[in-house]
Amino acid sequence: MHEFALAEGVAVTAVQAARKEGLQRITRLTVGIGELQQIERELFTGALREVMPAIHPQLAGVELELIVRPARLRCRACGQPFDLQAGNSELTEDQAEAIHFVPELAHTYLRCPACGSPDFEVMEGRGVWLEEIEGA
Amino acid sequence: MNNLDPRPGVIDRRLDAVERLVAVSGGKGGIGKSVVSAGLALVLARQGLRVGLLDLDLTGPCGHLILGIDTSFPEESFGLIPPLAHGIRFMSISCFTGAEAAPLRGADVSNAIIELLTIVQWGRLDYLIIDMPPGLGDALLDAVRLLRRSEFLIVSTASRVVVQTVQRTLRLLDMVQVPVAGIVENMQRDGYAADPDIRALARDRGLPFWGSLPFDACLEPAVGDPEALACTAFAQALGKMVRSHLLAARD
């Protein structure tokens, strides 16, 4: 599972951010998952649970909230806003998998539903990010 | 707190076990960066070294064509494992797109490069060769920012048009304090001496001039066949340079 690599990134970044914010311990992490990358929340939670204590003991038992954010796309050619359902109706399994690995490959496989252009902007909901750290 | 990108934090960890990172650049397109990158990887692998080749040209990848590597999804194991082909660990956007176009703007190029550097597990390597796309834009700036231990091998040809772009590339690398392993002249024509402008570029900056690679008519027919590629005059000359400039320091 390549999700472990991203989970490791979340763990390392949380520790770095906590240090920067002067937190002695982390109690809760909020992680955003962009719909475009199609990462399963349960699977990513499992990956985080497994990876986090190995990165820092401080991360063992931290409360996790994972929020899936919808992908919002907008065509640069015609200005049409659209969502993932409108843009990916004919994706094959391999094409969806490619976007799962590298979300920018949406530009290879998705099209603006209005004009067919691959030149669109991913306004929101691309990949994985750390939204919030709580601690003391 | 603003949303934090978790990816840059692990890129150094992905490259922990890579001894040297050599980015092959030159600024201009069509000067043979990809064939020099692939040739370097091939020559090093044939010396029994552990080698990786990362094709960072996202819009015009061709390392797989030069080396005859089938592009298919990499194996997943705590990330993506670059397939081993001809003794080279290989990664390219073409592993995901095949021959399809990847029409990416600057920010997308940057994001895709960061994603690849985050999820690809290179393992233990003696050399990771990075084939840079043309230009001084996002890919080069990201390589400088994220591949912090990288050194550059600069490719030029004996054309004033190319040499001036190479000069700009060198100025930028100097500005951001990235080391340059050397400068190589590519596509040297029969009967010509090494280009004086390229030699002067190296001399004036105190950089090693690796020498000249011949324009080799046998190269194109050898594309896609590593055995034939290794026998070309081009690869033979590159092999000599590698032994004198990369491996001599190692020994």
Q: Which tokens belong to A64? A: 């996790």
As a whole number of Å, the end-to-end CA separation of chain A is 33
Give the structural domain span for A47: 2-69+125-135
Distance CA A44, CA B6 (A): 14
Q: Which of B1, B112, B115 sits opposite A133 (nearest CB)?
A: B1
Asked if ipTM goes beyond 0.90, one says yes
Looking at residue A77, its pLDDT comes to: 98
Q: Which of A94, A102, A108 sits opposite B116 (nearest CB)?
A: A102
Mean pLDDT across A34-41: 96
A77: left (phi over 0), alpha (psi -120 to 50) or beta: alpha
Q: What is the pLDDT of residues B155-178, one digit of tens each?
A: 999 999 999 999 999 999 999 999
CA-based nearest distance A127→chain B, Å: 9
Burial class (CB in 10 A: 0-12, 13-18, 19+), B249: exposed
Q: Which tokens belong to B115? A: 């994603």
Checking if the pLDDT of B207 tops 70, the result is yes
Q: Is the domain of A6 the same as that of A56? A: yes
- Count of domains forming chain A: 2
* Rg, chain A, Cα only: 17
The band of A87, judged by pLDDT with boundaries at 50, 70 and 90, is low
Checking if the pLDDT of A89 tops 80, the result is no
The fraction of chain B above a pLDDT of 70, given in percent, is: 99
User: Which helix H or strand E contains B80, and what residues bound it?
Assistant: strand B80-81
Mean pLDDT across B118-127: 98
CA-based nearest distance B237→chain A, Å: 37
Q: What is the pLDDT of residues B100-117, one digit of tens each?
A: 999 999 999 999 999 999
B-chain residues within 8 Å CB-CB of A17? Answer: 1, 4
The band of B192, judged by pLDDT with boundaries at 50, 70 and 90, is confident
**Chain A interface test: which of B14, B16, B78, B114 (most A C-beta within 10 Å):** B78
Binary contact (A101, B80; C-beta < 8 A): yes
B-chain residues within 8 Å CB-CB of A6? Answer: 6-7, 118-119
CA nearest B137: which of B92, B169, B182? B169
Q: Is the domain of A6 the same as that of A55? A: yes
Checking if the pLDDT of B198 tops 90, the result is yes
Q: Is the domain of A55 the same as that of A120? A: no
Distance CA A124, CA A104 (A): 13
Domain of residue A38, CATH code = 3.30.2320.50
CA A11 to chain centre: 14
Q: Is the domain of A58 the same as that of A82? A: no
Residue B246 amino acid letter = L
Checking if the pLDDT of B250 tops 80, the result is no
CA A84 to chain centre: 14
Binary contact (B102, A13; C-beta < 8 A): no
CA nearest B147: which of B242, B1, B24, B248? B24
The band of A86, judged by pLDDT with boundaries at 50, 70 and 90, is confident
* Rg, chain B, Cα only: 17
Mean pLDDT across A90-102: 93
Checking if the pLDDT of B34 tops 80, the result is yes
Give the dihedral sign, CA B157/B160/B165/B169. Answer: positive
Binary contact (B1, A8; C-beta < 8 A): no
Looking at residue B64, its pLDDT comes to: 97
Tell which CATH classification among 3.90.470.20, 3.30.70.1150, 3.40.50.300, 3.30.70.100 matches the domain B7-246: 3.40.50.300
Q: Which of A2, A12, A105 sits opposite B9 (nearest CB)?
A: A12
Q: Is the domain of A32 the same as that of A44? A: yes
Instruction: Report the b/e string of A108-128 with b at 16+ CB within 10 A.
Output: bbbbbbeeeebebebeebbbb
- Give the B-side interface with A, CB within 8 Å: 1, 3-7, 9-10, 13-14, 73, 76, 78-80, 93, 96-97, 100-105, 108-109, 111-112, 115-116, 118-119, 121
CA nearest B154: which of B141, B128, B173? B173
Binary contact (A104, B112; C-beta < 8 A): yes
Binary contact (B115, A103; C-beta < 8 A): yes
Looking at residue A90, its pLDDT comes to: 79
Q: Is the domain of A94 the same as that of A64? A: no
Q: Which tokens belong to B215? A: 């324009």
Q: Is the domain of A40 the same as that of A82? A: no
Q: What is the pLDDT of residues B45-103, one digit of tens each?
A: 999 999 999 999 999 999 999 999 998 899 999 999 999 999 999 999 999 999 999 99
Looking at residue B204, its pLDDT comes to: 96
CA-based nearest distance A44→chain B, Å: 12
Residue B239 amino acid letter = G
Checking if the pLDDT of B151 tops 70, the result is yes
Q: Is the domain of A49 the same as that of A98? A: no
| Residues B122, B50 contacting (CB under 8 angstroms) | no
Q: Is the domain of A43 the same as that of A10? A: yes
| Residues B41, B88 contacting (CB under 8 angstroms) | yes
Looking at residue B196, its pLDDT comes to: 94
Q: Which tokens belong to B72? A: 């298919």
Looking at residue A58, its pLDDT comes to: 87
CA A43 to chain centre: 13
Domain ranges in chain B are: 7-246
Q: Is the domain of A131 the same as that of A99? A: no
Mean pLDDT across A117-128: 97
Coil vs helix vs strand at B164: helix
**Helix/strand/coil (H/E/C) assignment for every residue in B197-235:** HHHHHHHHHCCCEEEEEECCCCHHHHCCCHHHHHCCHHH
Q: Which residues contact B75 (CB under 8 A, 6 or more apart)?
A: B81, B83
Q: What is the pLDDT of residues B9-21, one digit of tens each?
A: 999 999 999 999 9
Looking at residue B127, its pLDDT comes to: 98
CA nearest B235: which of B52, B39, B60? B39
**Which residue in the block uniquely carries the two structure tokens 């004033």?**
B160
Calculate ∠ Cα B91-B25-B61, nearest 5°.
35
Q: What is the pLDDT of residues B213-233, one digit of tens each?
A: 999 999 999 999 999 999 999
Instruction: Find residue B52's DSSP bridge partners.
Output: B89, B128
